[in-house]
């Protein structure tokens, strides 16, 4: 079925350049794919004959698997290349690696890299679509989009909703992308955690900064928990994990500060007993597993839209 949707971008590097209308276009496509999936219509033909390369040069489970499943559900052939299995370990440049993939007739490259800006650089040296699956502490656009999609399923609209992001904001690409995406959709964002990980400088982005957990939770329609990004920290930003948990971990007592109907989110991986108690992670308030499922359909939408833009094809969606 042909839809009256417009999408002109062959790459998805960040949410910042996206308009609200473009974000809603992604969600329209994701909704169509989710309805088809729920009707047990799992396989779609839109990338049949295409080859999608997952170039994951940083560890990943959920994001890599979700992209693999999304590409497969669109009937693409998928190849996953990790850092240890690539010629980058032999001194080959990222540019040459990508250009060789293009010469091998890859149709889309999905990239995760520890260096901020790497996917943007890649999009300048290859002609085919490049999708950012997370770059350093810079951006994780598909995670932010699936998080907002999950929130919209719950609330219908994010205009005026209060969303609290709790945890390691300073080193989190998920936090940066979510702040931008949520604000574009009309939400009010609070960031909370210790002052060493949630500096006041973030107020310049239009968020509320809280170093006291209770006010950060009391008016929240949703709380999004983030793990401590040990792999990106070059110094100790709090005395111990135990002290972080005692001050900022979400437990049953602190969850009582949340208003009725508030939901709990986490992009994973979860450090149970650190940023969240296991009981809360598995509770009826939690939408953590819904986020994982929505990660498939949102990424299906992005792959499909970017492929259509690159090939200048009309956007078709499942009936």
For the annotated binding site for L-aspartate, the residues are 90, 173, 227
Count of Cβ atoms closer than 10 Å to residue 16 Cβ: 12
Binding site: residue ranges?
62-63, 90, 112, 140, 143, 173, 227, 268-269
Here the tokens at position 310 are 């690159």
**Does residue 281 contact residue 250 with C-beta atoms inside 8 Å?**
no
Say how far apart CA 315 and CA 291 lie, in whole Å.
25
Whether 130 and 154 have beta carbons less than 8 Å apart is answered as no
Q: Which of 275, 309, 231 is closest to 6 using CA atoms?
A: 309
What is the spatial distance between Cα 276 and Cα 172, in angstroms, rounded to a whole number? 17
Tokens of 132: 């950012």
Task: Give the integer Cα–Cα distance in Å for 231 and 60.
Answer: 13
> Partners of 12 in the beta sheet?
131
Q: How many CA atoms lie within 13 A of 23 on its CB side?
A: 27
- Angle 155-161-268 from CA coordinates, rounded to 5°: 75
- Alpha-carbon distance of 8 to 23, in angstroms, equals 12
Residue 136's closest CA among 57, 224, 205? Answer: 57
State the binding site for carbamoyl phosphate.
Answer: 62-63, 112, 140, 143, 268-269
Q: What is the DSSP string of 205-235?
A: GT-EEESSHHHHHHT-SEEEE----GGG-SS
Burial group, residue 268, by CB count within 10 angstroms (0-12, 13-18, 19+) = middle
């Amino acid at each position: 079925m042909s839809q009256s949707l417009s999408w002109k971008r062959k790459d998805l590097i960040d949410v910042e350049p996206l308009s609200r209308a473009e974000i809603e276009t992604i969600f329209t496509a994701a909704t169509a794919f989710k309805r088809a999936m729920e009707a047990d219509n799992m396989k779609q033909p839109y990338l049949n004959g295409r080859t999608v390369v997952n170039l994951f040069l940083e560890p990943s489970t959920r994001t890599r698997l979700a992209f693999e499943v999304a590409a497969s559900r669109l009937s693409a052939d998928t190849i996953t290349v990790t850092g240890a299995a690539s010629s980058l370990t032999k001194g080959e440049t990222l540019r040459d690696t990508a250009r060789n993939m293009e010469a091998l007739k890859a149709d889309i490259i999905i990239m995760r890299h520890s260096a901020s800006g790497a996917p943007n650089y890649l999009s300048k040296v290859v002609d085919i679509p490049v999708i950012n699956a997370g770059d350093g502490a810079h951006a994780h656009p598909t995670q932010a989009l699936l998080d907002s999609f999950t929130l919209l399923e719950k609330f219908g609209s994010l205009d005026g909703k209060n969303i609290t992001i709790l945890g390691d904001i300073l080193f989190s690409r998920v936090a940066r992308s979510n702040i931008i995406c949520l604000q574009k959709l009309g939400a009010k964002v609070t960031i909370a955690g210790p002052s060493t990980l949630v500096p006041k400088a973030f107020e310049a982005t239009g968020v509320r900064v809280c170093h006291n957990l209770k006010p950060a939770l009391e008016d929240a329609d949703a709380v999004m928990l983030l793990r401590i990004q040990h792999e990106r920290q070059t110094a100790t930003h709090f005395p111990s994990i135990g002290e972080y948990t005692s001050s900022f971990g979400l437990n049953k007592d602190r969850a009582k500060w949340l208003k009725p109907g508030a939901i709990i989110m986490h992009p994973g991986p979860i450090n149970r007993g650190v940023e969240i108690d296991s009981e809360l992670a598995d509770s009826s308030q939690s939408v953590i597993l819904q986020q994982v499922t929505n990660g498939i359909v949102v990424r299906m939408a992005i792959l499909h839209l970017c492929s259509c833009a690159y090939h200048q094809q009309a956007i078709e969606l499942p009936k």
